Amino acid sequence: MVNFKEEIAKIIAEHVDGLSAEEIQSMVEIPQDTKMGDYAFPCFKLAKTLRKAPPLIAGDIAAKIAENPIFEQVQQVNAYVNMFISKEEFVKDVVEEVLQKQEDFGKSNIGEGKPVIVEFSSPNIAKPFHIGHIRSTVIGNSINKLYKAMGYDVTRINHLGDYGTQFGKMICAYRRWGCKEDVIKEPIKTLLHYYTKFHEEVETHPELDDEAREIFARLEHGEKEETELWQWFRDESLKEFNRVYKMLGIEFDSYAGESFYSDKMPRIVEMLEEKGLLQESKGAQIVDLEPYGMTPALIKKSDGSSLYITRDIAAAVYRKEHYNFYKNIYVVASQQNLHFQQWIKIIELLGFDWAKDNIHVPFGLVSLEEGTMSTRHGRVVFLEDVLNRAVEQTREIIKEKGVNTDNIDETAKQVGIGAVIFQELSNNRIKDYVFSWDKVLDFNGETGPYVQYTHARAASVLRNAGEAAAKADDISNVNPEYIMSESAYELAKLIYALPQTIIDAGEKYEPSVLTRHIVDLAQSFNRFYHDEHILVDNEEEKISKLALVKAAKIAIKNGLALLGMEAPERM
């Protein structure tokens, strides 16, 4: 596809001394108001070198480039050269490009195969996988897909919370009050129950704490019995997590969680010692971070057991050595901001120049309309239940609507789960937000179902068009003059902007940039659909319009795929 910005910069560069085409390209703007052109070039910066008033410079440039056939019109307005691209060139170029690239449309190669790690989801073993986990899981999955689309070589890591002193407590509780069959039947609920019971009992029997500590020490030393129990808890929990990942269509390349680093920590402690970074404080080992305005980082407890932060330092060092990452991205709640600032600072203090390549992508809290959920207050809302409810309700809605689908179960799943994902990603990630059932499943709002419905509508137009739809694949059958109306042109512009939007969303680690654009695309398609008769008698006109419908359908589908959503053909 013609990169119009680049093309324009080249044309202007021929008439401006002292500025390279690249410099000019970085100055070219896309005006908010389309009346000011598709592109604009501000001339303020040139005034000094050319010793002329900016409006005069703009006038000169405008006069010189106006004849180029790439432009329909060039105007000077104050200090700006406003350029209108030839609509004919533009729509033809966009449609041709999309139809040729198909599922690859939107991809770029700015990543040049560089290795990137996206760590996301990372729930804790034997703890509920609740609605709060949806954020890291869904945002992380989309960021992973965005980076793949940008040409990076992405590794998806689930840094499971599968280690720590709480496993001493859990094993202790299981041995005292546990029942194997219960764990097998409902692993997480049962294990959580044991854990809670431990905390109740320890109030009156403080010796339980010592017992749990001892058990954890045995686990850290790799004693057979403790390790087997821990492994079993881990396997059972993972089975439950995987059920949810499957519903969401999410996969990981590695489940190397905290336990994976247990034997890699002594080395970290040694490194810290060598650099003189460790200090003793009340029998524990800490790194003083006061000079950097942070509380101290606790590296090793007085009983010798290791800590969460130490495992994160070990994980980063391991990942650098193993994957030689270009970027190591962590999609983790903003509640852990300090934790990430601390350990990334420590990596820097260890003298690693790649400290800056560890990137914490934080996000705000999600709450339900009924009120926030919290494991401590027992008001846990399981993510799996939320997804199931979304599918159930969607099934009811599409039944009522009398939607024609060959597989209602499959459609209800695609739309119900997609609705939850879309709502999750529509919000600026750093903001807290309230999960609302009414909003999620609104087919008319700026929602997942609305966008999917628009895609299905495009699919339906193409089905109804019969043979003409196939002819639209051949660009020589397309006459751009039929797709230059205001609504057609707006739609083509939004399609054209998708690849750059994907890059913007990726670089900002912000999928909501993409959800916004997909909503705009869908709304624009619907305007086109209402404004125009598509299946007209004139064969050439019909085929040309169908080509634009196809391009829009592909753009929406590819966009949804990067959010981790399906695009049903019928609904």
Q: Shortest distance, CB of residue 257 to ligand ARG, whole angstroms? A: 8
Q: How distant, in Å, are the alpha carbons of 9, 45, 201 from that of 29?
A: 11, 14, 66
Query: Do 509 and 141 touch, CB atoms closer than 8 A?
Result: no
Torsion (CA) 556, 360, 147, 364 in degrees, nearest 10: -10
List binders of ligand ARG among 159-188 (CB under 6 A).
159, 161
Catalytic residue, from 92, 130, 345, 550: name it: 130
Nearest distance, CB of residue 333 and ligand ARG, angstroms = 7
* DSSP track, 284-334: EEEE--GGGT-PPEEEE-TTS-B-HHHHHHHHHHHHHHHH--SEEEEE--G
Q: How many chain residues touch ligand ARG (CB under 6 A)?
A: 9
- DSSP alpha helices (H): ranges in 180-307? 180-185, 187-204, 207-220, 224-248, 265-274
CB of 543 to ligand ARG, least distance (A): 52
Is 52 a residue of the active site? no
From 386, 480, 482, select the one nearest 86 (Cα to Cα).
480
| Stretch near ligand ARG under the rule CB under 6 A, chosen from 20-28, 121-129, 219-227, 464-472 | 121-129
**Is 159 part of the annotated catalytic residue set?**
no
d(CA 136, CA 245): 12
Among 330, 382, 450, 453, binds ligand ARG (CB under 6 A): 330
Shortest distance in whole angstroms from residue 83 CB to ligand ARG: 48
Quick one: which of 76, 124, 165, 454 contacts ligand ARG (CB under 6 A)? 124
Nearer of residues 147 and 496 to ligand ARG, judged by Cβ = 147
Contact segment (CB under 6 A) with ligand ARG among 115-123, 207-215, 268-276, 416-424 equals 115-123
Kindly tell me which of 234 and 542 has the beta carbon lying closer to ligand ARG.
234
Among 256, 320, 312, residue whose Cα is nearest residue 116: 320
Residue 557, classified by CB atoms within 10 Å of its CB into exposed (0-12), middle (13-18) or buried (19+), is buried
Nearer to ligand ARG, 161 or 511 (CB): 161
Give residues 358-397 in contact with ligand ARG (rule: CB under 6 A). Answer: none
Beta carbons of 119 and 157 less than 8 angstroms apart:
yes
Min CB(123)–ligand ARG separation in Å: 6
Shorter beta-carbon distance to ligand ARG: residue 196 or 336:
336
**Whether 127 is catalytic:** yes
Closer to ligand ARG by Cβ: residue 166 or 526: 166
Nearer Cβ to ligand ARG, position 96 or 119?
A: 119
Q: State whether residue 504 is helix, strand or coil.
A: helix
Pick the stretch among 119-127, 366-374, 393-401, 555-563 that binds ligand ARG (CB under 6 A): 119-127
DSSP 388-428: HHHHHHHHHHHHHTT---S-HHHHHHHHHHHHHHHHHHHS-
**Shortest gap between Cβ of 395 and ligand ARG (angstroms)?**
32
How is residue 326 written in tokens?
């270009």
**Catalytically annotated residue among 10, 127, 189, 193:** 127
Residue 122 found at the interface with ligand ARG (CB under 6 A): yes
Stretch that binds ligand ARG, among 3-11, 39-47, 116-124, 438-446 (CB under 6 A): 116-124
Task: Decide if 250 contacts 564 (C-beta within 8 A).
Answer: yes
How does DSSP assign 488-499, residue by residue? HHHHHHHHHTHH
Which CB sits closer to ligand ARG, 359 or 561? 359
Chain positions 296 to 325 lying near ligand ARG, rule: CB under 6 A, are: 312
Q: What is the 3-state secondary structure (H, E, C) of 29-43?
A: ECCCCHHHCCEEEEC
**Catalytic residue selected from 5, 87, 92, 133:** 133
The bridge status of strand 278-281 relative to strand 39-42 is unpaired
Pairwise CA distance, residues 445 & 452, whole Å:
12
Residues classed as catalytic: 127, 130, 133
What residues make contact with ligand ARG under the rule CB under 6 A? 119, 122-124, 159, 161, 312, 330, 332
